[in-house]
Amino acid sequence: MSGGVQPAGSQSPAIDVFANTRPARVPGEPSFQDIFLGQVGKVQSLDEDYQKALEAYLGGADNEDQVAISFRKKQFAFNTLLQIRNKLVEGFDQLMQMRV
């Protein structure tokens, strides 16, 4: 029997259907995880900058314009990161609903 179907008692080698599903990583290029965690770190840094500007303003050393600018930077970065996170969750949900 050559071709497709083998008799019920015969053993065929196992086929790894997931063997080539991961994309090849380019050496020296950051992964998505590295990029995403870097952006989380930047958002945290902007939050710390805002906290420092607020403390300086409350102490009388900084003007309220700097506090407002720091707040808007922090808010924009956080909202952008939140939108990316929501898109990732939405994509994951769509993958989970796919039938195999």
Burial of 62 per CB tally in 10 Å (0-12, 13-18, 19+): middle
User: Which residues have CB under 8 Å from 7's CB, separation 6+?
Assistant: 1
pLDDT of residue 20: 64
Contact 62, 53 (CB under 8 A): yes
Taking alpha carbons only, the member of 16, 72, 30 closest to residue 47 is 72
Residue 79 has pLDDT above 80, yes or no: yes
The pLDDT tens digits for 52-74 are 999 999 998 878 899 999 999 99
Average pLDDT over every residue of 82-92: 93
Taking alpha carbons only, the member of 48, 34, 52, 57 closest to residue 77 is 48
